[in-house]
Amino acid sequence: MEKGQITEKKKEDSFGAAERRVRESVERLQLSPAVYEFLKKPLHFAEASIPVKMDHGGVELFTGYRAQHNNVLGPFKGGIRFHPGVTAESVKALSLLMTLKCALVGVPFGGGKGGVTCNSLQLSPGEKERLSRGYIRAFSYLFGPEIDIPAPDLFTDGQVMAWMVDEYYNITRRYLPGMLTGKPVEVGGSVGRKEATSRGCVYVAREAAKLSGITLEGATVVIQGCGNVGGKAAQFFSELGCRVISVCDISGGLYCAEGLAVPDLLGHVQETGLIEGFAGGEKIAGEELLTMECDILVPAAMENQLTAANAPEIKARLVVEAANAPTTPEAEQILSERGIPLVPDILANSGGVTVSYFEWVQNNQGLYWDLETVNQRLEKMMVEAFHTVHRFNREKCPGGTMREAAYGYAVQRLAEAMRLRGWF
């Protein structure tokens, strides 16, 4: 596969299932039907054409989106992704997941999401900067530290956030670093933010492994993805004594039964951008690793990767969703019937929004924490959230999946906040 090419699997209805699960939670918990009406679609949605001057001298129009799903718990919060798979519907669905995620982990934000339909790997640095600034010009009226707080997502990073916060200053003449998170530390970012999603995922995986009888020392881990989330997850699992036996990215996959040399692999990826060309493992097709025998499988790439087609062949003892919606409803039913526990995305990958909250707090206070403090507070919130969901599963969703419990707990919190605020 050529560098600069992003493939996209055919969509299945895993995002649409989120709305159904919200409805089922409302019914199971006997909540007011108004709760479902408020949660089934965003409160606000915006779309804009973003003109970008390209290096060849011409101008191209890109389509950008911002969904503001629900702010009953606090300002809208959610990433901005630059990806060819960005659509109005996917952004709306992801904003719902963010609302649930924030409610679940206990941060005072509501859900939002944004994106631009583009292949960012084919953009030069200058074109990407102009697109980033153009996005803020198109949607700056929506943003602010007490209104809507964006963050990085697929194919956006701290540099993109730095361009965006600078453009926001150019427009408003106000330097408000808390208007978005995921910034470089040098311009108001928080230490520990870049790796927070991965670290939080590993904290949750550690707790789930204990309940599943998996000893982490020597446990085999397979990770789909080797970007910021997947790569850092590989590092943290390795530091816990696990053997990371397989990873993949858009260039293909690698396998080593004894465990990949994770530091060397990540150094190669940092230098080249891809795992392709790394000599420390056997080359395999990216799809192969999903059905590989292992203790822990971590989908950390795109949505709809575990499907009805491959779920019967999955041999992992535990699945931990680091990506958003990587498992279709049909696949999850198959895994449940086969007795394979799954930690859902709205719990497993909530470390990013948790440390985004920490960054926002630090920006607002003008007082910054050290890495040890950030990680201790992240671990505390992630472990508490995991065991809260586990208890809720036993007490309110007996026999149900952890996803049903996570949705139920989040919806119950949102319902109570809406009731108290007089929304219904």
In percent, how much of the chain has pLDDT > 90? 91
3-state DSSP assignment of residue 199 = helix
Q: Which of 140, 137, 143, 116 is nearest to 128 (CA)?
A: 116
Residue ranges of alpha helices (H) inside 257-370 are: 262-272, 329-337, 345-348, 351-365
Q: 1 pLDDT band (50/70/90 cuts)?
A: very low
Q: 18 pLDDT band (50/70/90 cuts)?
A: confident
221: left (phi over 0), alpha (psi -120 to 50) or beta: beta
Per-residue model confidence as pLDDT tens digits over 35-45: 999 999 999 99
Catalytic residue set: 113
Cα–Cα distance measured from residue 234 to residue 239, given in angstroms and rounded to the nearest whole number: 9
Q: How far apart are the first and last CA of the chain?
A: 52
Per-residue model confidence as pLDDT tens digits over 144-201: 999 999 999 989 999 999 999 999 999 999 999 999 999 999 999 999 999 999 999 9
For the chain, list the domains and their CATH numbers: 41-178 (3.40.50.10860), 196-348 (3.40.50.720)
Cα–Cα distance measured from residue 336 to residue 343, given in angstroms and rounded to the nearest whole number: 11
Beta-sheet pairing, 294-299 with 282-284: unpaired
User: Looking at residue 55, what DSSP letter applies?
Assistant: T
Q: 15 pLDDT band (50/70/90 cuts)?
A: low
| pLDDT at res. 45 | 98
